[in-house]
Structure formats: structure tokens, C-alpha cells
Amino acid sequence: MDYEFINDIISLYIEAGILTFRIALLGIVGAVVVGLLCSLIKYYRVPVLQKIVGAYIELSRNTPLLIQLFFLYFGLPKIGIMLSSESCAIWGLIFLGGSYMAEAMRSGLEAVADIQVESGLSIGLTDFQVARYILLPQAITVSVPAFLANIIFLIKETSVFSAVALADLMYVAKDLIGLYYKTDEALLVLVLSYAVILLPISAVFTIAERKLRYAGFGN
């Protein structure tokens, strides 16, 4: 093991890690927004949109992110839509994550008993107030475990972005292996980088999940 070499390359990994983190953040925020919209559309059975959302969810959940990215990055330019690798990565992550988030939130929404909504309406709340004060708070608690698991899943999925020429952690590792043939060092730092990013998140999520489980209603 060449520690001097590790010392030299660590800044490359930090840079790549920050890039990964930034894209993951944007992608996840986008995915949450898309997921929330889709889950509400499915929950309220909005006429035409419901079908479109249903098709989108099936399409996105049953295909790999890598193929989605290849289509965005290599396919779309042929019809004149040019995306940089960064925006490809973000859109890809939103497209993939949106459906996972939608499913997580929909299961939460459906877990809220109908009587809750009916009681809210009967004491004179508007539809919006029912959603804001009764439906969403309970639904969110139920969907938290799936929601947090999705976030970790999406961060892990960012590792395929190197395939569309984004200089993320995998890309740096592959580059170093190719340039210097320092495979052990490059892979060790790669594993450590992902551990540093994901272990704390995973630990915090485990605690959060345990705390929130007791915020359920009626049991």
C-alpha cells in the first residue's frame, strides 16, 4: 500500500464526493417533489393525469437508471435535445427517484383510514385543510421508512453517473487505476469515500425511523 499516493489522491476524491453529493441532493429534492405530486394525483384519482402517472411509475420502476441515462445522454441529442452530463444525471435521478418516492408516499396516504378524512370534512374543514392537518401528517409518518430507504438507494445509484462522463467517485477511481495502475489504493479510497458518505446517513436514518415509529396515530 502506497500511503503517499493515497495522500496525493485524496483531494480528487473529496472533490468528486462533493460533486456526487450535490447532484444527489438536487436529484433527491426533485424526486421528492415529483413523488409527492404523483402520489397526490394517484390518491385523488385525477382523471387523465392518473393514467399518465401510472404509466410513468411502471416505466421508471422497471428499467435500470443506467439505460435511462444512456437514453438521455446519447439518444436525445439525435432529436436536438442536448443535455450536459450533469443535467443528465440530475434528470435521470429525478426520473428514477420520482416513482420510488411516489410509491412510498402513496402507501402512506392509503394507510390513513377513510374515517379520518371523513371526520375532518364533517367538522367543517376544507379539502385543503384536511390534507394539510389530517392526511399528510399521518401519511408522512407511515411512509418515512420507505422514504429514507429510497434516499439511500438514490445516493447509491449516483455511482453509475461515471458512465455519462461525470467526474464522480467511480470515475476518479477508474481514472487512477488506468493512469497509475494503483488499483488497491484507488479502490480502498473509493470504498472509504462511500462509507464516509453513507454510513452516517444510514445511522441517522435508523435513529430517525425508530423515533418516528412512535408518532403513529391510534396505537
Partner 1 sequence: MQDLGIKVLFQGRNFIRLLEGLWVTVRISLIAVIISIVLGIVLGMIMTSKNPAIRILTKTYLEFIRIMPQLVLLFLVYFGMTKAFNINLSGETSAIIVFSLWGTAEMSDLVRGALISMPKHQYESGMAIGLNTVQVYKYIIIPQTVRRLVPLAINLVTRMIKTTSLIVLIGVVEVVKVGQQIIESSRLTVPSAALWVYGVIYFLYFGVCYPISLLSAKLEKRWNS
Residue 120 vs 157, nearer CB to partner 1: 157
Considering only CA atoms, which of 11, 10, 35 is closest in space to residue 154?
35
Size of the site for partner 1 (CB under 8 A): 38
* Contact pick of 2, 118, 127, 184 for partner 1 (by CB under 8 A): 184
Write out the three cell numbers for 215: 408518532
What's the min distance (Å) between Cβ of 190 and partner 1? 6
**Which cell goes with 207?**
435513529
**Would you tell me the crossing angle of helices 183-212 and 3-43 to the nearest 10 degrees?**
40
**Which CB, 198 or 215, lies closer to partner 1?**
198
Cα separation, 188 vs 210, in Å, equals: 32
Asked if 185 and 2 count as a contact pair (C-beta separation under 8 A), the reply is yes
- Position 102: which residue type? A
The answer to whether 97 touches 150, Cβ cutoff 8 Å, is yes
Pick from 22, 61, 132, 211 the residue near partner 1 by CB under 8 A.
61
State the binding string over 31-50 for partner 1 (x if CB under 8 A, else -).
--------------------
Closest approach, Cβ 146 to partner 1, in A, equals 13
Binding residue for partner 1, selected from 195, 204, 208, 215, defined by CB under 8 A: 195
Q: How far out from the chain centre does Cα 199 lie?
A: 16
Angle value at C-alpha 68, between 82 and 43, nearest 5 degrees: 110
The residue among 64 and 216 lying less far from partner 1, judged by its C-beta, is 64
Find the binder of partner 1 among 136, 177, 205, 212 (CB under 8 A): 177
Of 33, 52, 199, 208, the residue at the interface with partner 1 (CB under 8 A) is 199
CB–CB of 90/116 below 8 Å?
A: no
When binding is defined by CB under 8 A, the residue of 38, 53, 173, 189 that contacts partner 1 is 173
Q: Is 213 in the site for partner 1 (CB under 8 A)?
A: no
Q: Which of residues 75-134 bind partner 1 (CB under 8 A)?
A: 75-79
* Number of neighbouring beta carbons within 10 Å of residue 105: 27
Task: Assess contact for 161 and 23: CB atoms under 8 A.
Answer: yes
Q: Which is nearer to partner 1, 74 or 133 (CB)?
A: 74
Q: Under the rule (CB under 8 A), what is the footprint of partner 1?
A: 58-59, 61-64, 66-68, 70-71, 74-79, 156-160, 162-163, 170, 173-174, 177, 183-184, 187, 190-191, 194-195, 198-199, 202
